[in-house]
């Protein structure tokens, strides 16, 4: 497995590939610097567990990883709306796989879905709280856009983003996709 980290407006994100599929997307935690709503990380940081240099744009040993980094950059530049990568969700239950696949296939950028509606769409037979748990274990956040799943009365939770910035990250991603109006403050 190879990894590389890309700097994004919501913090450094590490992508892992097994050469056949993207198997993990996660926020890198090199330090405890807070990332605010509109903060943009401009300096590369060394992240634990990174095998390839920060902001690597090419690696002959894994063209898929190079493509994943290119697509993430394009997403955050606003020029890519949907990812087109082979994905591997790993060792998750069939129910979780069904819910995440339904999310990926039915919730477009710029839209949201409630936990309850995603439960209904997936036909998984679980309640909204179960959907929340599945979103929390999503191994491919941003690529499979669990940030688009919201509570019926607000944002709901989010486990992505840098430590202490989960809901700010969710709000930023939704505003970036024009699924939420920007906050006034």
pLDDT tens readout for residues 31-42: 544 444 434 343
Q: Do the beta carbons of residue 31 and residue 12 sit within 8 Å?
A: no
pLDDT at site 60: 52
Q: Which of 146, 149, 150, 173 is catalytic?
A: 146
Q: Does residue 47 carry a catalytic annotation?
A: no
* DSSP letter string, 107-132: --TT--EEHHHHHHHHT----HHHHH
Predicted confidence at residue 32, as pLDDT, reads: 43
The domains located in the chain, with CATH, are 2-77 (no CATH), 94-176 (1.10.10.10)
């Amino acid at each position: 497995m190879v990894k590389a980290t890309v700097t994004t407006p919501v913090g450094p994100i590490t992508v892992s590939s097994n050469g056949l599929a993207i198997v993990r997307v996660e926020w890198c935690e090199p330090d405890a610097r807070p990332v605010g709503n509109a903060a943009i990380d401009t300096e590369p940081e060394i992240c634990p567990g990174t095998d390839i240099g920060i902001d690597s744009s090419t690696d002959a040993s894994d063209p898929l990883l190079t493509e994943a980094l290119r697509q993430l950059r394009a997403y955050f530049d606003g020029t890519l709306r949907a990812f087109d990568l082979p994905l591997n969700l790993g060792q998750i239950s069939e129910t979780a796989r069904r819910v995440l696949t339904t999310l990926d296939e039915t919730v477009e950028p710029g839209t949201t879905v409630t936990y309850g509606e995603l439960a209904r769409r997936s036909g998984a037979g679980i309640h909204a709280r179960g959907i929340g748990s599945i979103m929390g274990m999503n191994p491919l956040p941003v690529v499979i856009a669990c940030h688009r799943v919201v509570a019926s009365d607000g944002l709901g939770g989010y486990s992505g983003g840098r430590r202490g910035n989960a809901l700010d990250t969710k709000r930023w991603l939704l505003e970036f996709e024009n699924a939420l109006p920007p906050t006034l403050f």
